[in-house]
């Protein structure tokens, strides 16, 4: 495949940059908010998403009948990477996960209710897969959804739900058949303002908020069941492939690396320029090479998704997520090592090297390797689905 952008794609990228020059204001864009923290959690950021919608940039790859333009996935990739590089909110869960899943599997009622709101930038979602006893093992979820008249009644707990403290709707996997494992899970949409939902914030090592969500006698009409009964694990697997790509963008890693290189141009230790030290030059060369690997792995995912008609390619998603989040940690480690003792100073500390981003990146990069399926899960997927290794190898 050709890893370079066409003239049309380059023109679109330039248009996006001009847009960001005008609208990526400090109340919207902050590169020190690491990757997954670039969410639509304030009024200013919601207004920013409306501006993206007005330009037709939300849902560009969707079918025209649902408000999209049927553009190749590379345009969505260019937009999302540009947003992430500036520290702006990304297209995220609504366009990249919920919307695409509803288009493939949702009822007409759900499509008519949610797709216009998503593409207009009017609605935000939280995603509920993980549970206290089922972190990366989605097939082990135990949140119960029991049939009750024309709907379903929920009891149980979800954990690690990013966005639950400000989202409008909850995209939830629940167990509808205790006798089955993978085939006993169903997806639902639940309003976050439901009186039976309790959201308990959980501060993270990365200075962001995730949440535990408690379900106490929550009743939801069957109209808000997504797709076929018992097919939720299949839908979640597809959605996780999208999440592993759209929520773990490459450009913030590249941006941190470039900031490190720029700092090294003037940094010195014991009176000697750091940039002339052989171990520093070796580390920078290694990271620069690895960055190019991560970039082309991301583009390979985009190409593979296009080839299979928009269905997320599982192995490519796992390969990209595993490599990119590991690289994010390696860049963070290098920032801390090369900054020396000053690298331990908190972000935005005036006298800190690299604006204190070293310690912040070091803490947050741990979260990257867990969200969307831990690195161990990605290795298992690659081992079984690409290398053909047995499950219990």
Do 261 and 179 share a structural domain?
A: no
Domain boundary among the residues 161, 195, 229 is at 229
Do 18 and 104 share a structural domain?
A: yes
Model pLDDT, residue 141: 87
**CATH number for the domain that contains residue 104:** 1.10.540.10
Do 322 and 307 share a structural domain?
A: yes
Do 54 and 86 share a structural domain?
A: yes
Do 220 and 304 share a structural domain?
A: no
Do 294 and 219 share a structural domain?
A: no
Tally of structural domains, the chain: 3
Residues 6+ apart with CB under 8 A from 69: 56, 59, 60, 61, 62
pLDDT in tens, the chain (393 residues): 667 889 999 999 999 999 999 999 999 998 877 655 567 889 999 999 999 999 999 999 999 999 999 998 889 889 999 999 999 998 878 898 899 899 999 999 999 999 999 999 999 999 999 888 876 667 788 899 999 999 999 999 999 898 999 999 999 999 999 888 888 999 999 999 999 999 999 988 877 888 999 999 999 999 999 999 999 988 888 777 666 666 678 999 999 999 999 999 999 988 899 999 999 999 999 999 999 999 999 888 887 776 545 566 888 888 999 999 999 999 999 999 999 999 999 888 888 999 888 998 888 888 888 877 788 888 988 998 888 898 765
Do 73 and 154 share a structural domain?
A: no
Q: Which of 72, 71, 93, 91 is nearest to 80 (CA)?
A: 91
Beta strands at 169-175 and 125-128: parallel, antiparallel or unpaired: parallel
One DSSP character per residue, 198-253 reads EEEEEE-TTS-EEEEEEEEEEEEEGGGEESSTTBHHHHHHHHHHHHHHHTS-SHHH
Do 40 and 167 share a structural domain?
A: no
Q: Quote the domain boundaries for residue 18.
A: 7-123
Model pLDDT, residue 36: 59
Do 20 and 147 share a structural domain?
A: no
Q: In angstroms, how far apart are the furthest CA atoms of the chain?
A: 77
Classify 67 as helix, strand or coil.
Answer: coil
Do 273 and 175 share a structural domain?
A: no
Place of tokens 């996935």: 73
Domain boundary among the residues 92, 123, 154 is at 123
Count CA atoms closer than 13 A to 196's CA, side-chain side: 15
Do 176 and 138 share a structural domain?
A: yes
What pTM did the predictor assign? 0.86
Do 112 and 51 share a structural domain?
A: yes
- pLDDT digit string (tens) for 241-290? 666 666 678 999 999 999 999 999 999 988 899 999 999 999 999 999 99
**CATH number for the domain that contains residue 192:** 2.40.110.10
**CATH number for the domain that contains residue 314:** 1.20.140.10
């Amino acid at each position: 495949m050709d890893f370079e952008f066409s003239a049309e794609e380059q023109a679109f990228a330039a248009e996006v940059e001009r847009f960001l020059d005008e609208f990526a204001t400090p109340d919207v864009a902050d590169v020190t908010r690491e990757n997954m923290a670039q969410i639509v959690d304030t009024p200013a950021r919601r207004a920013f998403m409306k501006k993206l919608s007005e330009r037709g940039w939300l849902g560009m790859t969707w079918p025209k009948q649902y408000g999209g333009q049927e553009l190749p996935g590379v345009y969505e990739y260019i937009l999302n990477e540009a947003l992430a590089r500036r520290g702006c909110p990304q297209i995220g869960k609504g366009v990249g996960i919920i919307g695409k899943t509803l288009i493939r599997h949702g009822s007409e009622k759900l499509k008519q209710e949610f797709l216009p709101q998503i593409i207009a930038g009017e609605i935000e979602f939280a995603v509920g897969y993980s549970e206290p006893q089922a972190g990366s093992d989605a097939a082990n979820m135990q949140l119960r959804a029991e049939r009750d008249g024309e709907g379903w009644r929920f009891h149980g707990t979800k954990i690690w739900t990013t966005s639950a403290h400000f989202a409008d709707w909850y995209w939830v996997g629940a167990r509808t058949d205790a006798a089955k494992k993978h085939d006993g899970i169903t997806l639902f949409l639940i309003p976050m303002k439901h009186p039976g939902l309790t959201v308990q914030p959980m501060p993270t090592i990365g200075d962001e908020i995730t949440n535990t969500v408690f379900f106490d006698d929550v009743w939801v009409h069957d109209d808000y069941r997504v797709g076929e009964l018992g097919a939720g694990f299949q839908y979640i697997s597809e959605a996780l492939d999208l999440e592993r790509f759209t929520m773990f963008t490459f450009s913030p890693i590249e941006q941190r690396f470039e900031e490190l290189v720029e700092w090294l141009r003037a940094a010195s230790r014991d009176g000697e320029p750091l940039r002339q030290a052989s171990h520093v030059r070796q580390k920078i060369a290694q990271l620069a090479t690895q960055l190019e690997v991560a970039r082309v792995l991301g583009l390979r995912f985009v190409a593979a998704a296009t080839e299979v008609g928009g269905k997320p390619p599982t192995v490519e998603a796992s390969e990209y997520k595993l490599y990119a989040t590991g690289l994010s940690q390696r860049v963070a480690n290098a920032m801390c090592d090369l900054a020396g003792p000053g690298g331990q100073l908190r972000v935005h500390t005036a006298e800190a090297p690299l604006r204190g981003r070293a310690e912040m990146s070091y803490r947050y990069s741990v979260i990257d390797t867990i969200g969307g399926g831990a690195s161990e899960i990605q290795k298992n997927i690659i081992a079984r689905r690409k290398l053909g290794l047995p499950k219990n190898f």
